[in-house]
Amino acid sequence: MYEAKVAFTRKCLRFIVAILLALGLMLLGLFDGIGYHLYFIRETSFIPHSRLGYADASFSIDLMYNPVLYPLYWLMGSGRINGTYSTIYLPEGYGSGEFGGPRWGLWGKERQDAYIIEMLSWGSLLNLLFLAIITVSIEIVGKRCLYLVLGLGIFGFAAFELVGMAVGMVVGSLAVASMLRQPDNVVFRFWRSLWE
Overall average pLDDT of the 165-181 stretch:
88
Task: Check residue 193 and give its pLDDT.
Answer: 63
Per residue in 44-84, pLDDT (tens digit) is 988 888 778 788 989 999 999 999 999 999 999 889 999 99
Report the mean per-residue pLDDT for the chain. 86
Cα 96 versus chain centre, distance: 39
pLDDT per position as a tens digit, 97-137: 666 667 666 676 778 888 898 899 888 899 999 999 999 99
The pTM (predicted TM-score) of the whole model is: 0.83
pLDDT at residue number 195: 56
Amino acid at 180: L
Confidence at residue 185, expressed as pLDDT on a 0 to 100 scale = 67
Q: Is 33 left (phi over 0), alpha (psi -120 to 50) or beta?
A: left
Domain ranges of the chain: 2-132, 143-196
Helix boundaries (H) for 182-196: 186-195
Assess contact for 158 and 37: CB atoms under 8 A. Answer: no
Q: Would you place residue 25 in the very low, low, confident or very high pLDDT band (cuts 50, 70, 90)? A: very high
pLDDT(154) > 70: yes
Say what the pLDDT of residue 70 is: 95
